[in-house]
Amino acid sequence: MGAPDMDAGKMARPRKWGWLILLSSTTTLVCCVIPIVLVSLGLGATVASLYSTVPFLSSLGLHKEWTFALTALVLLAAAWALFRPGRACPADPDQAKACQSADKWNRRLFFGSVALWGISFFTAYLLLPIALWLGVF
């Protein structure tokens, strides 16, 4: 018995979770990590021109708590969708192969997104306090 959205003779379409996860975790990277890294490298003028060219970046930066919270919720929902109990691929060999391939890529995108989110969180919230504690600044 297959999923409700599959007909007997058609291949199942892969879910779009992976791309949604990657997109949402990339917003934290763009809002917080890239500007901090550029300023740390002495490229403050680049950050200023980036923020003037793409105005919504300043909104993300001003509301980074909400940005991180929403992307964390998306990642939690994706984790539930990818790792929930009872998930199974169809019995048909062709559909099972497509299902397993999509599942493999969704998991790769998920773990890559979690890594991006973690790097972004570290950079946005922990890097400065650690640097101040070590006396770097």
pLDDT band at 5 (very low <50, low <70, confident <90, very high): very low
User: Which candidate, 111, 127, 92, places its Cα nearest to that of 12?
Assistant: 92
d(CA 3, CA 110): 22
Q: What is the mean pLDDT of residues 80-86?
A: 86
d(CA 104, CA 71): 22
Q: What is the mean pLDDT of residues 64-84?
A: 86
Query: Cα angle at 40 between 39 and 44, to 5 degrees?
Result: 20
pLDDT band at 133 (very low <50, low <70, confident <90, very high): very high
User: Which candidate, 58, 5, 53, 3, places its Cα nearest to that of 32?
Assistant: 58
Alpha carbons within 13 angstroms on the beta-carbon side of residue 9 total 0
d(CA 6, CA 9): 8
